[in-house]
Amino acid sequence: MTRFAFLPLCGALLLNGCASKTPAPTPADPEPPAATQSAPSYDSETLSDLLVAEVAAQRQSLGVTLAYYSQAARTTGDPQVISQAAQLAHYLEDHQQTLALSQLWLEKAPANEEALQLAILSEIRLGNIDAASRYLDTLLGEHGGDALGRLVSQARGLDAQGNQQLVQALAQLSDRYPKQAPLWYARALWLEHENDYAGALEANERALDLMPRHEDALLLKAQLLHKLGEEKQALRHLKKLVRKYPQARRPRIAYIRMLLAAGETGKAEKQLVTMAEQHPEDLDLRFSLALLALEAGATEPARRQLQSLLAENYRPDDMHLYLGQAAEQAEQPDQAVDHYLKVQGPQAVRASVQAARLLYQQGNSDQASALMASLAKQHPELATSLTVTEAEMRNNIGDPQGALVLLDRAVKAEPDNTELLYSRAMIAEKTGDMEKLESDLRRVLSIKPDDASALNALGYTLANRTQRLDEAYDYISRALALRPDDPAILDSMGWVLYKRGEMEAARDYLRRAYDKFPDPEVAAHYGEVLWVLGAQHRARQVWRDTLDSNPDAPHIREVMEKLGARL
């Protein structure tokens, strides 16, 4: 059962209600079309309600649709109308309405699996576990354990909050129904959510004891073994599944994922080839697996799959885009640029910008600049973003003056463009031109007084580069009032407080910034304050953690040298 698939029910009913006779099927149609089959005859008021419901649905006013369908369901007692109304109520997460309509549906069809599912799910969402279990008894009696498995699968397909609530409730029922594998599987899912991986594995084994071919439980076992640190055992389990069920897609895909995660790219590629051979017509699957390999850093297997798909003319723009990324991973910038420049359609601008970035990095500045100018001419609505991006490119290759020339020209044409002014201020800071930085940021704030980024940038620069600490504090305070949880602004506040000698307060702000965003500059600030406060062991730990992930972090090296600190 899908959460809600709206059917053109009213149109069919209106055709039946208004037609003088049912057309005979043509010889080419051995079965009459759905809209010409017999249907109950409704009065004009009911037909009008259904028509209003249809129109509202087409306009995405689903609350109005539900109101009219619910009324028609109760008026007509037609199971098809009741079904439609109940599915819509479930989709809109109106649990009371869903329950009432599913109960009405069960009065007409007491053993209907879909109606029982909706009743169970609604009672669970309303917290009525005992009532849900009564419907569950009926479901098991009428449809067996397979129906229960379908119910658990439904719970997994809901939104995150609803998923966990339903899985928790179904898990609680495993004691009441100890011989139902799907409920033990649900219990395993819940325990996994609670980070009790050992308990989850135990519950999952109970599910497999009862239903050895429960595919979801078999796959969950590998996932749980991996989370328990038993990577080799998890791989052996998946390898066994692939051998036992060679045509099953999900175990092999899971095996490929885990091989890639383990760095077993050779073995992963063999499985990728097998998948391609087994499903040569499923190009979407092959593309998804190629992207998975690319994301895992398995560049060559990914590239071979993407080139194969390109040869079949499958989504050529996407293939060139990702082949460009693969070439970048392989440190082959010329090939990457070649692929990026072949991308057309919606991804063309993104790909061309990346080509320009690579050209700048290779020293082909004239070609890169011409490419960016061409993009701006083709897409004038993106001119500002493209200018800012190109200025960043020039700055990143060590040409801040070239970036300023570009931005000066753009600001001259648009003197009140705050995005250009802010970008120029940031480049000016790199060149040490404090006068231009301050002038541009003040101009931004005269146009947009509540621009938190400009307030923070001006305040931090004043704190870091001047003795105007009170003024810096005022700017940063205004920025923090606008974005109280922004780690960059928390870092600025901590830094200006440190400069003012308010050490304890500085440490607290910097700790919050570091917890939210432990980048090297924040770590350098936080470590420095800790060191000065005498917490030198903690400072070393902060710096060590940062250097583990950013070995070349200059901010850390500089502050350690300034303080005479050693790890």
Nearest to 306 by CA among 360, 342, 252: 342
- Dist CA 452 CA 470 (whole Å): 18
Distances (CA, A) of 258 to 49, 237, 294, 411: 54, 11, 14, 51
Which residues make Cβ contacts (< 8 Å) with residue 20, sequence separation at least 6?
Answer: none
Supply the pTM of this predicted model.
Answer: 0.67
Residue type, 61: S
| pLDDT at 409 (0 to 100) | 96
Whether the CB-CB separation of 517 and 488 falls below 8 Å is answered with yes
Which residues make Cβ contacts (< 8 Å) with residue 453, sequence separation at least 6?
Answer: 422, 479
DSSP element (H, E) containing 305: helix 299-311
Handedness of CA 126, 130, 132, 135 (dihedral sign): negative
Burial (0-12, 13-18, 19+ Cβ within 10 Å), 231: middle
Tokens, residue 242: 């692939």
| pLDDT at 22 (0 to 100) | 33
| pLDDT at 331 (0 to 100) | 95
Delineate the domains of the chain, giving CATH numbers in brackets.
1-24+31-143 (1.25.40.10)
| pLDDT at 3 (0 to 100) | 36
- Dist CA 441 CA 436 (whole Å): 8
CB atoms within 10 A of CB 313: 9
- Dist CA 414 CA 292 (whole Å): 44
Nearest to 217 by CA among 151, 271, 166, 152: 152
| pLDDT at 8 (0 to 100) | 42
Phi and psi dihedrals of 348, rounded to 5? -65, -45
- Dist CA 539 CA 550 (whole Å): 16
Whether the CB-CB separation of 73 and 101 falls below 8 Å is answered with yes
The distance of Cα 354 from the centroid of its chain, to the nearest Å, equals 23
Tokens, residue 97: 């309405």
| pLDDT at 59 (0 to 100) | 64
| pLDDT at 462 (0 to 100) | 96
Whether the CB-CB separation of 135 and 123 falls below 8 Å is answered with yes
- The CB-side HSE value for 231 (13 A sphere, CA atoms) comes to 8
Tokens, residue 165: 């609530």
- Dist CA 304 CA 291 (whole Å): 11
All residue ranges of the chain with pLDDT < 50 are 1-39, 158-159
| pLDDT at 19 (0 to 100) | 34
Q: Tell me the CA end-to-end span of the chain in Å, nearest whole number.
A: 59
Burial (0-12, 13-18, 19+ Cβ within 10 Å), 230: middle
Query: C-alpha angle with apex 385: 379 to 389, nearest 5 degrees?
Result: 115
Whether the CB-CB separation of 73 and 85 falls below 8 Å is answered with yes
Distances (CA, A) of 278 to 215, 269, 281: 19, 14, 9
User: Scanning the structure block, which residue is given the tokens 């799907």?
Assistant: 182
- Dist CA 412 CA 416 (whole Å): 9
